[in-house]
Amino acid sequence: MAFEGRKSFRTSSRFPERAKPEWTGPMVDYKEVELLRKFLTSSSKLMSRKRGGTNAQEQNALKQAIKRARFMALIPYAGT
Protein backbone atom coordinates (compact mmCIF):
# COMPACT_ATOMS: atom_id res chain seq x y z
CA MET A 1 0.00 0.00 0.00
CA ALA A 2 1.05 3.59 -0.47
CA PHE A 3 0.64 4.50 3.21
CA GLU A 4 2.72 1.73 4.78
CA GLY A 5 5.98 3.67 4.89
CA ARG A 6 4.40 6.82 6.27
CA LYS A 7 4.61 7.89 9.88
CA SER A 8 1.82 9.55 11.75
CA PHE A 9 1.52 13.32 11.60
CA ARG A 10 4.77 14.18 13.47
CA THR A 11 3.34 13.07 16.81
CA SER A 12 5.74 10.20 17.31
CA SER A 13 8.80 12.31 16.55
CA ARG A 14 7.74 15.31 18.64
CA PHE A 15 6.63 13.26 21.65
CA PRO A 16 8.44 9.91 21.68
CA GLU A 17 7.01 8.95 25.08
CA ARG A 18 3.54 8.74 23.50
CA ALA A 19 4.54 5.63 21.55
CA LYS A 20 4.79 3.55 24.72
CA PRO A 21 1.66 1.59 25.72
CA GLU A 22 1.89 2.50 29.42
CA TRP A 23 1.65 6.22 28.64
CA THR A 24 -1.56 7.65 30.09
CA GLY A 25 -1.12 11.29 29.12
CA PRO A 26 0.29 14.30 30.88
CA MET A 27 -1.40 15.68 33.93
CA VAL A 28 -2.16 19.09 32.52
CA ASP A 29 -1.87 21.99 34.92
CA TYR A 30 -1.78 25.70 34.19
CA LYS A 31 1.50 26.03 36.11
CA GLU A 32 3.37 23.69 33.73
CA VAL A 33 4.24 26.40 31.23
CA GLU A 34 6.86 24.42 29.30
CA LEU A 35 4.42 21.58 28.63
CA LEU A 36 1.70 24.01 27.55
CA ARG A 37 4.06 25.79 25.15
CA LYS A 38 4.65 22.51 23.31
CA PHE A 39 1.00 22.61 22.28
CA LEU A 40 1.01 26.24 21.10
CA THR A 41 1.96 27.47 17.65
CA SER A 42 4.41 30.32 17.08
CA SER A 43 1.48 32.75 17.09
CA SER A 44 0.32 31.38 20.49
CA LYS A 45 -2.65 29.48 19.08
CA LEU A 46 -3.61 26.06 20.38
CA MET A 47 -2.53 23.25 18.06
CA SER A 48 -5.17 21.06 16.48
CA ARG A 49 -5.80 17.61 17.87
CA LYS A 50 -4.24 16.00 14.82
CA ARG A 51 -1.06 18.05 15.02
CA GLY A 52 -0.74 17.84 18.79
CA GLY A 53 -1.63 14.16 18.93
CA THR A 54 -4.19 14.53 21.71
CA ASN A 55 -7.59 13.00 22.15
CA ALA A 56 -10.72 15.04 22.87
CA GLN A 57 -10.39 14.81 26.66
CA GLU A 58 -6.74 15.90 26.63
CA GLN A 59 -7.50 18.71 24.19
CA ASN A 60 -10.24 20.06 26.47
CA ALA A 61 -7.91 19.89 29.49
CA LEU A 62 -5.20 21.70 27.50
CA LYS A 63 -7.65 24.40 26.46
CA GLN A 64 -8.67 25.05 30.06
CA ALA A 65 -5.08 25.03 31.31
CA ILE A 66 -3.95 27.46 28.60
CA LYS A 67 -6.84 29.79 29.35
CA ARG A 68 -5.94 29.80 33.05
CA ALA A 69 -2.24 30.29 32.32
CA ARG A 70 -3.03 33.24 30.08
CA PHE A 71 -5.26 34.78 32.74
CA MET A 72 -2.45 34.44 35.29
CA ALA A 73 -0.02 36.02 32.75
CA LEU A 74 2.17 32.91 32.51
CA ILE A 75 1.62 32.61 28.75
CA PRO A 76 1.07 35.57 26.40
CA TYR A 77 -2.24 35.94 24.57
CA ALA A 78 -0.52 36.82 21.28
CA GLY A 79 2.71 35.53 19.79
CA THR A 80 5.81 37.60 19.24
Q: Check whether 15 has a pLDDT greater than 90.
A: no
The reply to whether 63 falls in a domain is: yes
Domain carrying residue 42? 11-19+26-71
Taking the C-alpha atoms of residue 74 and residue 33, their distance in angstroms, rounded to an integer, is 7
Please tell me the predicted confidence (pLDDT) of residue 67.
95
The reply to whether 76 falls in a domain is: no
Please tell me the predicted confidence (pLDDT) of residue 53.
85
Instruction: Tell me the three state secondary structure of residue 40.
Output: strand
Domain with 60 in it: what CATH number? 4.10.640.10
CA atoms within 13 A on the CB side of 30: 14
Mean per-residue pLDDT, 34-60: 89
Taking the C-alpha atoms of residue 40 and residue 48, their distance in angstroms, rounded to an integer, is 9
Number of folded domains that form the chain: 1
Whole-structure pTM over 0.85, yes or no?
no
